[in-house]
Every structure is written in C-alpha cells, then in structure tokens.
Structure 1
Amino acid sequence: MNLDWISLPDVNEEILQSDKGVSLVAVLDTDKQRKDGSYTIKVRIIHERIYKYYSTKIAVTQEEYEKLSKGSRLNKDLTEKRIVVHQYLKRAYAVICEMNGFSFVEFKERFTQKRSDMKSVYAYYDQYIDVLNSEERIGTRDNYTYSMKKLKEFHGKNSISFETITPTFLRQYEKWILDKGHSKTTVGIYCRPLKKIFNDAIADGIIGNDKNPFGDVKRGKYQAPEGNNTKKALSLDDLKKIIMYVPEPGSPEHYYRDIWVFSYLGNGINMKDLCLLKYKDIDGNHIRFSREKTKNTNRSARPISIALIEMNKRIIERWGRFPRELDKFIFPVLDGKPNEEEVKRKVQQFTKQVNKYMKKIGVKLNIDATITTYYARHSYVTASLRAGVDIHTITENVGHSSLKVIGKYIDSLNEEESVKNANKLLKFD
C-alpha cells in the first residue's frame, strides 16, 4: 500500500531544495511492525539521494495514519499525535535552516539535542529565531531574541509553559518593565513577539485558544500598550532652513545633509532602504523599490514609487557611485553582495553619521530639535498632510500597511491646531 506522507504547509520548500538540497516529510515506517500491529511515524530526510529516518516516537495503525495524512476529522488521541509529528517536522526544519551546509552527522547532533521540551514557550522562540536567522531577517531575529531574554529575566527560570502566561502574569510583566524605567512603547516591543509565539502554539494545537492571554481587555484578556510614539516632524520654516542651507561644497556635512534631504523628498525613505537602492531601481523620473521591513511579512505590498524631482536628481549626480552600473548600489555605503549582518552594521554606522551632522546643522540654524533621520520620514508625512495630499496616497507612498499609523500624524497636527485655537481665545480685537 502506498501511503501519503505528512508535510508542513508553512515549510519553505524552495529554500530547502535550492539552498540545502533537502526534502523533509514524515512517513509511516511499515518495514517494522510493532507487537500491537502499529507502526512508528518517522521524519524522513532525503539529501543527495540518501534517505535517513528519525523517530517521532508516535505509533499508529495504517488506518490511523491515513486519517492523519489526509487531514481527516480526528479524535482527541489522533489530534495530539498529529501535533507531536508536526512539532518534530518544525524542529527538523529549523535545524536544517540554521545549518550553513547540510550534513546528516551535524543534523542528527543538533536535532537530538534540541528536540526536547518542544511544548515550552522558549522552545517556540528558539525555533522561530532559527528560521529568522536562516532567512537573514536579522532585525526581526534580534527583536525575538530580546523579547525572550527579557521574559527569562522577569520569570527567572530557563523554562516556562504556555499555561503559566496568563493575563495576570502579563500585567505583572508590564508593570515590571515600566518599573525599570522603560516606556509603554518598549512593553509593546517585548510583548508583540510573545503574542506571535502564542498564535503559533495555538495553530499547532499545543494550547487552546481559550487559554490565549492576549485579546480584548473587556473580556479579561491582556493588550499591550501602544505608547505615545510622538511623531518627530519639523515645521515648514525649519525644513526650508535645512534645504536652503549651503554647506561647504564636497564636505561631509554637505554629503550627510544631502542624504537627509533625499530621504525627506523621497517619501521619507528610511536609511536601510536608501542604502539598498540600486541604479536598476531608477525608472525614468521615478525610483521603485520594496521596503525591506515588510517584504517578508507582506507579500502583497506594492512597490513604493518615489518621484525623482530635480533636487534629488542632483543629489544622485553629486554623490552617486561611478560607474553607474544597473546592479550597483547608488550611494557608496554598501558594496558587492553584503549579508544581512554587514548591511545592519554599515547602515547603523551610516545613520549615526547622518544624525551627527544633522544635529550640528540644527544648532547652526537655531532649530529647536535634535534632528535625526526619523525627522525626515515624519516631516514628509506631516508636510504632505498639510499640503492636502490624500491620506491613502500618503499611506501608499511611505509603505504603511494601514491607515492607523498615518492617523497618529493627524492626531499630532490636531494637537498643534488645538493650541492655536486656544490662543485665539485671548484675542479680543
């Protein structure tokens, strides 16, 4: 009898096949029948036409296995067995992804070492961090690493079950973070990865949705605070000062001021996306690119289109890399084919330099703000709103996935307007 295999729907087969040359599924080992007539389900890996099997310690009859492999409605016992099989497959996938090059010897060592305690919160963290690392999503990987580290610091133990984390636990966790002097925004940064971990565990059947501590506050659930996240925008007068400012031609101050202006005029493009721009992204009078921040999480997101006005064209002429080959980065920050670690390091260094020189320029121009690259992005949105640009257009131009973020800029403008209106109350002529 030819039996179907069990695979995970979220496994990236392209990465496994192209990067690792590996096939990964779970199968029923019908060669070795147990005394009770059942067979063991095993993880099967194929690499360079070599087959290896690793036990999941789950035993079922052929009839039960057919139900498992076909996704039929399962009783409680089979549901639990499918969860365990999926966990073994996920663990195997994560181990394979984190290996530089696949070998059965290394796989076995890592797989047997790390497959214990697969139902714990930290095991889920480790599993997802491995995948993020393999996909070179360094920023997101670091967010999950910091989130797990902070949770361990609060809990004080090296293992924690999903059942332990309740709404009361999370409220105490929030208070602990705030008492350490962190902001509400920081609470959200630490809790969002944990919420995602819970959703994964619920999807796997490790814990029921009724045990999810995140949700509607009115129903006794926990919701992380969003924080004020004040938008840092400059007034039109201050923006004019920066753009009209004349630095010493060819100086570092000239370069970094131009980069800041390019960001402001370029839909508020952030420094990482700016550094990754290539000449092939230039399409006539536009630059078209996909945001690095969302390219892995929002597959349907449309590319962002920046209108290349004369000032930004001159900035490219002045500072762009020569020769202007299509596959070359426009600005001389990155070279060749840098990995994510190198991109992160160089972009951070570059951003510090932009901030350093913009701070000095702000002092020279008597601008009452410590200008950073964030001001360029926030000023673009605010200036566009002041100019009456449609909110949907602005959302699309900056690459936000929802109008909610832009709404915070509107709130900021409304606060400015409320101050003006309050002052009018004292004008009697």
Structure 2
Amino acid sequence: TLNEIRKFAGDNLEFGEINPAWLEEYGEYQKLQNKTINTLAIHYRNIRVLYNDAIRNHIIKRDIYPFYDFQIKQEKTHKRSLNINDIRRIRDVELKKENEMRARDLFMLSFYMNGINFKDLLLARKENIYQGRYMFNRAKTGRPYSVKIFPETQEIIDRYPGEIYLLNFMERKELVNIKKDRNIPLYKDITDQTNRLLKDVAEEAKVPVPLSTYYARHSLATIARNIGISRDDIRSILGHGENTVTDIYIDLDLERIDDAMRMILELLNQGDTF
C-alpha cells in the first residue's frame, strides 16, 4: 500500500492531506492501474489502520480522520474451491500442449504440498529438502513450515529438476530472458502465465470454473473439511496458526498434518474419473 501511495502522491504526503476527496482520487488512480475493487479495499483498510494507530498514539487529532463519511466498498468474491472429483479430472485429463501440462503439474504440486503458495513453490530451494520434507519460511507470514514430500509430489518434482531451485522454472533461459523486458518479478510472471493456461486446462477437463493457482489451496481446505478433518488440523496443513518456531517441528504435529494429507491423497486416488 505504501508503495502505491508513493506512486500516486510522492514521498512527502502528510496525514492532513488525506481527506475523502483524496481517497476518491486515489481510487480512480487505482482503477486506471486495473486494480480490482477488493484490492482497492485492502489499500483503504491499510490507510485506515495507520490513522487509527496515529490517533491512538496521539500523533494526530481525530478531526482529520478521513474515514468518518467514507465508505469502503467491496465485491463479494466467489468461492475458489473444487470437489475431489474436479481435482481428479484436472489431474487425469489428457492434454496435448506441453505448456498446459506444465501448468497442470504446478497446480497439482501446489495441491500435493499442502496448498503451498505459488511464490513459495517457485522459490523453493533444493537445499531446504531434508529427510523427505521441504522446510521453509512462508513468504507471506515468515513462519517456519514443513511439508512432507509424498510420492505424488516427487514424481512431478522429478520432471522439472532445478540446479539451485527445487524446480527449474526460475532457471529456464527462455523465461529469464522474458523477465528482462518486464518490470515484475519472474515468479509473478510465471504465475500469471500459469493462471492463463489453467483456464484452458479446466476447459479440457470439463471443470466449469476460471481455474487459477488459488484453487489448489482453497480446494484442499474444503476437501479436508468435507472428510472430517478438524479446523485446527486444516489450519496446520495450510500453515496458519500461532505455533512457535519450536512447536512447528514437533514430530506429533507433523504426523497429524502428514496423516491428514495422506487421507486426502488416498481419497483422490480412489476410483476413476468420470
């Protein structure tokens, strides 16, 4: 949010300069940048938090608070989750294009690896594999996390072996060359390409959703809940919760997570796709 404000208003913006009119202008600017209403709502809420903290700490007076008569709008989002048979269709559909196969593999790998965030997946390093587990700190939260490498996971990893990275996508010359002309991180470029291709994969698999990388994580959580896995265990699978650095690596916790994931994979492997 701070970077976006700097792009819009420069580095010397003061609290007193932000008022409802400024917020409206900032919203129009964000729309010109093709930002969604929900993304804009996140920015507005972040700004509001700054004002609330500043008032609470007596840095500014309440009379310059810009949100008294300003409504933060938000669109209702559609649930990004699939059932187990949809995931099976995506896994098993016969694809003819190599780039669609790669997109499908990345999607399934995210699903197999506890719904791992795509940034964490693409930036995974081989040095963090230890005794059949991938150990890392989540990019979003900084929290340590450990994911078991199941046979289904290893099968996909073996198709795209990297030298430094677990997967070779960040090392592929054709993708690195594309990055030179674009002002976005390579992992984000790869994610964007994957999301475009997943739409075609879903169409081939007859799964009627605008498939994207987010569906892997959300679907895993929904499937886990539907087969009776507790909310606490689902939070642990996804890397949520309040565990300390020590607690996250306790064998019992990892066994519960691994057992829950094994239940999901066994269900996925039962029966034929229809």
* Identity of matched residues, %: 24
Report the Cα distance in structure 1 between the residues aligned to 2:11 and 2:156, rounded to whole angstroms.
52
Offset of residue 398 of structure 1 = 2.0
Gaps (5+ residues) in structure 1?
A: 1-142, 296-300, 323-327, 403-429
Partner of 2:121: 274
2:162 paired with 1:321: yes
Equivalent residue of 1:318, what SS?
coil
Partner of 1:105: none
Equivalent residue of 1:304, what SS?
strand
2:76 to 224, 228, 244: 228
Partner of 2:108: 261
Structure 1 residues 177 and 395, CA gap change in structure 2 (3 angstroms): farther
Aligned partner letter, 1:237: N
Aligned partner letter, 2:79: K
Structure 1 residues 212 and 309, CA gap change in structure 2 (3 angstroms): farther
1:345 to 162, 185, 192: 185
1:198 to 34, 47, 51: 51
Partner of 1:309: 150
1:157-306 superposed matches below 5 A: 161-165=14-18, 184-198=37-51, 201=54, 206-208=59-61, 210-211=62-63, 213=65, 224=72, 227-247=75-95, 251-295=98-142, 301=143, 303-306=144-147
Asked if the contact 2:95/2:204 (under 8 Å) is kept, the reply is no
Equivalent residue of 2:159, what SS?
helix
Report the Cα distance in structure 1 between the residues aligned to 2:11 and 2:159, rounded to whole angstroms.
54
Asked if the contact 1:147/1:194 (under 8 Å) is kept, the reply is no
Report the Cα distance in structure 2 between the residues aligned to 1:401 and 1:170, rounded to whole angstroms.
37
Report the Cα distance in structure 2 between the residues aligned to 1:313 and 1:381, rounded to whole angstroms.
22
Report the Cα distance in structure 2 between the residues aligned to 1:394 and 1:226, rounded to whole angstroms.
27
Gaps (5+ residues) in structure 2?
A: 243-274
Asked if the contact 1:255/1:319 (under 8 Å) is kept, the reply is no
Report the Cα distance in structure 2 between the residues aligned to 1:239 and 1:319, rounded to whole angstroms.
21
Report the Cα distance in structure 1 between the residues aligned to 2:189 and 2:29, rounded to whole angstroms.
29
Report the Cα distance in structure 1 between the residues aligned to 2:31 and 2:162, rounded to whole angstroms.
49
Report the Cα distance in structure 2 between the residues aligned to 1:212 and 1:387, rounded to whole angstroms.
51
- TM (norm. structure 1) is 0.46
Asked if the contact 2:162/2:168 (under 8 Å) is kept, the reply is yes
When Rg is computed on C-alpha atoms for both structures, the one with the higher figure is 1
Offset of residue 368 of structure 1 = 0.7
Offset of residue 170 of structure 1 = 8.1
Q: Deviations over 1:103-161 (max 9, x none)?
A: xxxxxxxxxxxxxxxxxxxxxxxxxxxxxxxxxxxxxxxx32224555x4xxxx99764
Partner of 1:53: none
1:377-416 superposed matches below 5 A: 377-400=217-240
Asked if the contact 1:177/1:187 (under 8 Å) is kept, the reply is no
Equivalent residue of 1:319, what SS?
coil
Asked if the contact 1:291/1:304 (under 8 Å) is kept, the reply is yes
Q: Deviations over 1:205-248 (max 9, x none)?
A: 5414x457389xxxx68674564333311222211101122445
Equivalent residue of 1:331, what SS?
coil
Asked if the contact 1:304/1:399 (under 8 Å) is kept, the reply is yes
Partner of 1:331: 167
Q: Deviations over 1:393-417 (max 9, x none)?
A: 2223323468xxxxxxxxxxxxxxx
Structure 1 residues 214 and 228, CA gap change in structure 2 (3 angstroms): farther
Report the Cα distance in structure 1 between the residues aligned to 2:11 and 2:130, rounded to whole angstroms.
52
Equivalent residue of 2:65, what SS?
coil
Report the Cα distance in structure 2 between the residues aligned to 1:242 and 1:204, rounded to whole angstroms.
52
Report the Cα distance in structure 2 between the residues aligned to 1:399 and 1:221, rounded to whole angstroms.
38
Partner of 2:261: none
Offset of residue 274 of structure 1 = 0.5
1:91-110 superposed matches below 5 A: none
State the superposition RMSD in angstroms.
3.9
Report the Cα distance in structure 1 between the residues aligned to 2:11 and 2:28, rounded to whole angstroms.
18
Structure 1 residues 203 and 369, CA gap change in structure 2 (3 angstroms): same
Report the Cα distance in structure 2 between the residues aligned to 1:399 and 1:283, rounded to whole angstroms.
18
**Equivalences, count:** 234
> Which of the pair has the greater relative contact order for Cα pairs under 8 Å at 6+ separation?
2
Asked if the contact 1:289/1:304 (under 8 Å) is kept, the reply is yes
- TM (norm. structure 2) is 0.68
Which has the larger strand fraction? 1
Report the Cα distance in structure 1 between the residues aligned to 2:185 and 2:129, rounded to whole angstroms.
26
Report the Cα distance in structure 2 between the residues aligned to 1:199 and 1:401, rounded to whole angstroms.
26
